[in-house]
Amino acid sequence: MPVSLEIVSPEKLLISQSVDMVVIPGSEGDIGVLQEHSPMITLLRGGEVILYEGDRVTARYFVTGGFAEITEERVTVLADTAEPSSSLSHAEGERQLAEANRALNEADKAGQIDQLVPLMEKVQVAQAMVDVTSAAS
């Protein structure tokens, strides 16, 4: 039985369709959602939202964070940004990762403790982009 899925970013509704299963990058780990899943709201980390029809992956979308609302018949992903994973650039991911690591190291050395968590989140998102684009190669 399918579950309704919507992926929404501040710019637009990216997708609205029924899928057999969706895997979302929850802040505590990946969450596989089938129909009749327990209702919950979860934070998202940077990573892939993967759509399934039966055992087959039909689409992949990269999100940089946000949250998801899960009900027994619906999943709504409210993403900070979202785009098809196929549109990502490995070189851009590597550039963002190097920049995020540099900024994190500088903030750490300067004792800017209030900047560490947001900078660590940027490192995580950039690393996820690198991982996704490496797997696609």
Instruction: Tell me the average confidence (pLDDT) per consecutive run of 10 residues in the chain, 137 residues long.
Output: 94 95 96 95 97 96 97 96 95 96 95 94 95 83
> What pLDDT does residue 137 have?
61
Task: Please report how many Cα atoms fall inside a 13 Å half-sphere around the Cα of residue 6, on the Cβ side.
Answer: 12
The CA distance from 41 to 129, in Å, is: 24
Backbone φ and ψ for 46, nearest 5 degrees, come out as: -60, 135
Check: pTM over 0.95? Answer yes or no.
no
Matching residue, tokens 């999100």: 63
Matching residue, tokens 């780990």: 29
Question: Beta strand 3-8 with 74-79: parallel, antiparallel or unpaired?
Answer: parallel
